[in-house]
Amino acid sequence: MTRLRQDLNFFSSAGLIVSGLTTGLTGLVVDLWDLNDFWYHMLSGYVMAGFAILHVVLNWGRLVSYAKFRVRGTSARTAAGAPRPAPVPARATGMAPLDDPEPVRPLHALTRATVSRRGLLGMAVGGVGGLVLGRGLRPQPPIPAGSDVGVIYHQWSKPGVIDALGSVANWGQPVELYKAYPGAPVVALPEPSLEGGLPTARAIATRRSTRSYSGRPLGLDELSRFLFLTSGISADRFGSARRTAPSSGALYPIEIYPIVNNAAGIERGVYHYAYREHALELVRTEDMRARLVDQGLGQEFLGQCGAVLFLTMILQRMRPKYQDRSYRYGLLEAGHVGENAYLAATEMGLGACGIGAFMDDAMNEMLGIDGVEEAVVYMLAVGHTAA
């Protein structure tokens, strides 16, 4: 019975260590890649809890004895005037003095260490750790010469265990979640109406890119509803605002700059959409229609639509959490916002058209951003369609 108990105790100790390491590694994966339902982590946590309970049950007597020993030791130290026992000479005990140890035979000690349970457990843990790190630190896959930078970035931004080391690197400090233009004139938008419009299924089925617009101006209420459905704040849970478009880690790197060509009651110019206030902040007043067509590679409808939405990305909002994959996630979010814009325009009876071909530097300069820390990644025309 004693032998069985010892084996169970060893099994529980080894299982507790292995499951603890597994829980830690899977937890790191969950944090690095923002996985909300990673069942490996949950399973390893339950297994670790089971081994912990078994370990406590098997060693309950030792734990109680140690607790009593600590309590007695504390009581003895606090007792006033308690005499300290005199040291007993080593010769009187019949034992060899401490400064005269038995000679150690290196080969015998090495053999004893490697065949012990602790030695086997250490070798197993070291082997698993080496295998994991070896696969994670393996060289990046070869990239054929002449590959475009998109292929290179895609290959190098694939997740791996090496990212665990990258997570301790300094990727800079997080930046504000909301960009603002203090002191800028503000155009307040009315409360967005959610009544009427096409059903979702009909809007999805009939969505098309529109490149022909009438001269009818956008109404302020239409612009309000369109911007809200595109990426407005739709909920505030526990002080954490959520928007109509999904975002990795709710970090929202996408900013929206509407350039107004033709809207009732709004001057032509560059505006910034203030998410929290659901309002437009004026960047500058100017008729941008000719510049939009010129820098949009001659696409005339950019000067005929009611407004052109510029989606910019602030990468630093994501880098501290997602490191190399931040650019991937930012582009994904721009796609979510763009599709929302398409569907919002369709259900409102408007037209929309996404554009990816434009002169980056000129568009960044038009919005007053540097093109590095914040850059244009997508633009969409919106307006009343021609009959």
pLDDT for 323-336, tens place per residue? 888 999 999 999 99
Cβ atoms 261, 289 nearer than 8 A: yes
Span 70-77, mean pLDDT? 68
- Any idea which residue has 């109406």 for tokens? 193
Residues ≥6 apart with Cβ < 8 Å to 8 = 54, 58
Which of the given ranges, 119-128, 168-177, 375-384, has the highest pLDDT on average?
A: 375-384
Residue 131 confidence (pLDDT): 62
Cβ atoms 338, 224 nearer than 8 A: no
Residue 6 confidence (pLDDT): 76
pLDDT tens, residue by residue, 131-171: 665 555 555 556 666 678 888 788 777 776 555 555 555 67
Type of residue found at 235: A
CA proximity to 180, closest of 311, 273, 317, 268: 273
Cβ atoms 254, 155 nearer than 8 A: no
CA 94 to chain centre: 66
CA proximity to 354, closest of 335, 379, 382: 379
- Is 0.85 surpassed by the pTM of this model? no
**What DSSP character marks residue 263?**
B
- Residue 188's φ and ψ, nearest 5 degrees, are -70, 135
Q: ∠ CA 168-141-377 to the nearest 5 degrees?
A: 70
Q: Label residue 113 by pLDDT band (50, 70, 90).
A: very low
For 364, the 3-state DSSP assignment is helix
pLDDT tens, residue by residue, 76-94: 655 555 555 555 554 544 5
Q: How far apart are CA 253 and CA 327, in angstroms?
A: 10
Span 172-197, mean pLDDT? 93
Q: How many alpha carbons fall within 13 Å on the CB side of residue 264?
A: 10
Residues ≥6 apart with Cβ < 8 Å to 52 = 16
Tallying the residues shown for the chain, one arrives at 387
pLDDT tens, residue by residue, 244-282: 999 999 999 999 999 999 999 999 999 999 999 999 999
- Residue 357's φ and ψ, nearest 5 degrees, are -100, 105
Q: How far apart are CA 193 and CA 182, in angstroms?
A: 28
